[in-house]
Amino acid sequence: MQLSFKDNGIGFDQNLAYKIFRLFKRMHTHVEGLGIGLYIIHSIINENGGKINVKSQVNKGTEFIIQF
């Protein structure tokens, strides 16, 4: 099964994608947040045998792809 979530928001540099699931890591400091949400999601998906990947383009948006 595969789930995909996509937006057309501010995105981020794809070269930094390896950092996005780290605890307390935030891609944009001008946006409110703590940097724990994606870390928790990544941990839950991995604990259940799944994978999550991200694709992003600056000023075009981000897509998260979850596979089980």
Instruction: For 7-66, write each residue's pLDDT tens digit.
Output: 999 999 999 999 999 999 888 888 888 999 999 999 999 999 999 999 999 999 999 999
**pLDDT score at 57:** 97
- Give the C-alpha distances (Å, rounded to integers) separating 37 from 12, 18, 34, 42, 43: 17, 15, 8, 9, 10
Cβ–Cβ under 8 Å, residues 65 and 1: no
Q: What is the pTM of this model?
A: 0.86
Which of the four pLDDT bands, split at 50, 70 and 90, describes residue 3?
very high
Answer for the pair 42, 21: CB distance below 8 angstroms, yes or no.
yes
**How high is the pLDDT of residue 65?**
98
CA end-to-end span of the chain, whole Å?
5
**Token pair belonging to 56:** 């992003």
Q: Which domains, from first to last, does the chain contain?
A: 2-67 (3.30.565.10)
